[in-house]
Amino acid sequence: MPKGTRNIQLSFDESTLTHFGGMWLIQRFCNRIGLRRLFQRHLQGFHNTSVYHPSELILALMFAIIMGLRRISKTDILQYNGAFLAMLGIKRFPDQSTLRRFLRRLSPQIIRRLVRLHDSLRAYLFALPRMRHGLIFDIDSSVFVIYGKAEGARVGYNPKKPGRRSYHPLFCFEAGFEEFWHGSLRPGNTGSSTGIFPFLNICLAKVPKTIAKSRIRFRMDSGFYSRGTVEFIDGKGCGYVIVAKEYKPVQVKAQACKFTKLKNGWEAGEFWWKPTEKWERKHRFVAVRRPIPEDPEEAKQLTLFKIRKYAYHVFITNLKTSAWRVYLFYSLRANIEKHIRELVYDYPLSKIPTSDWIANVAHFQIVLFACDLVHWFRRLCLPKDWRSSILETLRTDFLMLPARMVYARNKNILKLPRDYPCRKEFQQAFQNASRLKLPGKFRFCK
DSSP 95: P
Model pLDDT, residue 301: 45
Burial class of residue 430 in the structure, from the number of CB atoms within 10 Å of its CB (0-12 exposed, 13-18 middle, 19+ buried):
middle
Judged against a pLDDT cut of 90, whether residue 28 lies above it is answered with yes
Claim: this prediction has a pTM higher than 0.85 = yes
Each residue's pLDDT tens digit, 393-435? 999 999 999 988 888 888 888 899 999 999 999 999 999 999 9
Report the pLDDT averaged over residues 94-98: 90
HSE, CB side, 13 Å, CA atoms: give it for residue 352: 26
Confidence of residue 374 (pLDDT cuts 50, 70, 90): very high
Burial class of residue 416 in the structure, from the number of CB atoms within 10 Å of its CB (0-12 exposed, 13-18 middle, 19+ buried):
middle
Residues in the chain: 446
* DSSP string covering 171-204: EEEETTTTEEEEEE--BTT--TTTTHHHHHHHHH
Confidence of residue 354 (pLDDT cuts 50, 70, 90): very high
Strand ranges inside 276-328, DSSP E: 283-291, 305-307, 310-317
β-sheet with 411-415: strand ranges across: 17-18, 403-408, 411-415
Model pLDDT, residue 47: 58
Q: Which of 89, 180, 110, 235 is nearest to 372 (CA)?
A: 180
Judged against a pLDDT cut of 80, whether residue 50 lies above it is answered with no
Q: Which of 236, 176, 163, 241 is nearest to 204 (CA)?
A: 236
Rounded Cα gap, residues 156 and 25, in angstroms? 42
Choose the weakest-confidence range: 19-28, 72-81, 233-242, 282-291: 72-81
Confidence of residue 87 (pLDDT cuts 50, 70, 90): confident
Each residue's pLDDT tens digit, 122-168? 999 999 998 899 999 999 999 999 988 899 999 998 888 899 999 99
Each residue's pLDDT tens digit, 202-213? 999 999 999 999
Each residue's pLDDT tens digit, 54-67? 899 999 999 999 99
| Distance from the Cα of residue 124 to its chain's centroid | 18
Domain ranges of the chain: 17-110+350-434
Q: What mean pLDDT, rounded, does the chain reach? A: 90
Amino acid letter, 367 = V
